Every structure is written in structure tokens, then in C-alpha cells.
């Protein structure tokens, strides 16, 4: 889990840049942050849940929302949605 302080300044930037061996699973909670996610060609994810002010995907980045093998509860809708 990546957790950002709720008192961080709005617009704080976080960048997750992966290469061919990046594997990420869990939650990203950055309610006031601008998150940039750029994956590599071999990067993988099985369960990733993101809460951020803004999210930008670049490169060959991808997300999967199959959390059945994790000790987490799904939140939100069963399909990805962008909420303004």
C-alpha cells in the first residue's frame, strides 16, 4: 500500500515509473496528489486500487482489478470509472 498524508499540499506529484520487471499489487491512496503511472513492457499488476486527485497513464502502463486473491474488499463499481 502506498499511503499519502491527508495534509499534503494539493497537487503534490507522485511518479511510479516501472521497467520490465515491475510488479505492483495493492492500494494507492493519494487523495490530494497528481499520480503519474508509466509501466514497462513486462510490468504486471493483479490487484491495484487507486485513489488520487488526478491519474495519468503513459507508455505501456496497465492496471488490473482482480483482487480475489488478496485480503481486501473491492470498492466502487465493478468496472473502472473516472469521477470528476
Q: Answer yes or no: is pLDDT of 44 > 60.
A: no
Does residue 33 lie within any of the structural domains?
Answer: yes
How is residue 42 written as a grid cell?
513486462
Indicate if the pLDDT at residue 48 is higher than 80. no
The answer to whether 30 and 56 have CB atoms below 8 angstroms apart is no
The domain containing residue 11 runs over which residues? Answer: 2-59
pLDDT of 77 strictly over 60: no
- The reply to whether 28 falls in a domain is yes
Is a pLDDT exceeding 80 seen at residue 63?
no
Residue 71 in any domain: the answer is no
pLDDT at 12: 92
Tell how far CA 64 is from the center of its chain.
10
Please tell me the total count of domains within the chain. Answer: 1
Amino acid at each position: 500500500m502506498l499511503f499519502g498524508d491527508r495534509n499534503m499540499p494539493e497537487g503534490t506529484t507522485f511518479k511510479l515509473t516501472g521497467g520490465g520487471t515491475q510488479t505492483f499489487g495493492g492500494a494507492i491512496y493519494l487523495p490530494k496528489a497528481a499520480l503519474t503511472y508509466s509501466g514497462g513492457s513486462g510490468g504486471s499488476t493483479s490487484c491495484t486500487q487507486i485513489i488520487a486527485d488526478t491519474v495519468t497513464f503513459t507508455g505501456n502502463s496497465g492496471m488490473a482489478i482482480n483482487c480475489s486473491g488478496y485480503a481486501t474488499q473491492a470498492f466502487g463499481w465493478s468496472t473502472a470509472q473516472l469521477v470528476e
